[in-house]
């Protein structure tokens, strides 16, 4: 009889606890219990692979800038890597949609398996005063990537993009100066203001150590995409899978393209909005802008430990 009782006790231990033991009951309101029941239980990477699931995670790495620096190219190149999963569209969470909350932001992310990195890119973060504190609040360990480009060329590219949408805007030359006679540069114009990289970086360094920010050269991303991607993969802790074999140079567009894009067997170049022909700008204005940016560029080189060769 004792043997039979012990057999029944141990046989029931697992199933009875699951069904009715107070220890097995979920705590919380009915709504919380329903929410928990709707969340898939943890699965192994193998089972996740076969059933097409995965987990939506907040990004571990973000491309935070800069506009017209080459952020779209970098993201498209990175998405070739099997361990990188990224949002295609710019979420603009930390500058425009922060009030929607982290749950909304997480839901935008692609599902990832264990060992994969979730990423997004929104170039306006770099110049948004509130963004560093907000990202730090989400995770102090977030890795940040900034694609920078000669600020004069970047400003002209920025203007060219606006011109394509608003053909009646004033000339680049007239927008550059508060007073052209005195040569006073209008730093309130966003096309000029974005390129004052050192000033913006100071804000980020209040919340993140310099070693947690990778600075990618927009110029080298064109001349040596595999080399820059090698640095990015190292920074993200990824195996160097993206190499020279993934690129070919498109002479018509003037920048590298992928031989095979993510999820495709066909070559892929960035769209027609990339690589626009710049308008001719008065060289005196270009030189004045170079003089304006020179001191700031030197400070930026010192802060980052990199000479980008813009002067």
The residues annotated with a catalytic role in the active site are: 68
CA distances from 44 to 59, 115, 119, 294 (A): 21, 12, 22, 53
User: What sign does the CA torsion over 148, 124, 191, 292 have?
Assistant: negative
Q: What tokens appear for 197 in the block?
A: 């990289």
Quote the Cα angle for 123-125-129, to 5°. Answer: 145
Q: How far apart are CA 148 and CA 221, in angstroms?
A: 10
Q: Are strands 143-148 and 61-65 parallel, antiparallel or unpaired?
A: parallel
CB of 69 within 8 A of CB of 147?
A: yes
Residues annotated within the binding site are 68-72, 149, 157, 274-278
Residues annotated within the binding site for 3'-phosphoadenylyl sulfate are 68-72, 149, 157, 274-278
User: What sign does the CA torsion over 251, 254, 259, 261 have?
Assistant: negative
DSSP lists the bridge partners of residue 118 as: 85
Looking from the CA of 136 toward its CB, the CA atoms found within 13 Å total 14
């Amino acid at each position: 009889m004792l043997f039979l009782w012990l057999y029944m006790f141990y046989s029931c231990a697992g199933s009875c606890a699951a069904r009715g033991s107070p220890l097995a009951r979920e705590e919380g309101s009915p709504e919380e219990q329903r929410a928990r029941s709707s969340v898939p239980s943890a699965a192994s990477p193998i089972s996740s692979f076969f059933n097409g699931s995965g987990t939506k995670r907040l990004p571990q790495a973000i491309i935070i800038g800069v506009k017209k620096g080459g952020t779209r190219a970098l993201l498209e190149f990175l998405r070739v890597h099997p361990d990188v999963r990224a949002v295609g569209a710019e979420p603009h969470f930390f500058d425009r949609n922060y009030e929607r909350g982290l749950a909304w932001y997480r839901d935008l992310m692609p599902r990832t398996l264990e060992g994969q990195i979730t990423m997004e890119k929104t170039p306006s973060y770099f110049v948004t005063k509130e963004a560093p504190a907000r990202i730090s609040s989400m995770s102090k360990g977030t890795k940040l990537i900034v694609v920078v480009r000669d600020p004069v060329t970047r400003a002209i590219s920025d203007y060219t993009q606006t011109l394509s949408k608003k053909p009646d805007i004033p000339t680049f030359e007239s927008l550059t100066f508060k007073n052209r006679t005195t040569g006073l540069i209008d730093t309130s114009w966003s096309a000029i203001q974005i390129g004052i990289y050192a000033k913006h970086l100071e804000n980020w360094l209040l919340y993140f150590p310099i070693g947690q920010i990778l600075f990618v050269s927009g110029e080298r991303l064109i001349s040596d995409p595999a080399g820059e991607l090698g640095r990015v993969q190292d920074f993200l802790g990824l195996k160097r899978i993206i190499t020279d074999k993934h690129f070919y140079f498109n002479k018509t567009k003037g920048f590298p393209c992928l031989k095979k894009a993510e999820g495709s067997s066909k070559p892929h170049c960035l769209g027609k909005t990339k690589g626009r022909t710049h308008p001719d700008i008065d060289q005196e204005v270009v030189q004045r802008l170079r003089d304006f940016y020179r001191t700031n560029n030197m400070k930026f080189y010192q802060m980052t430990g990199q000479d980008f060769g813009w002067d």
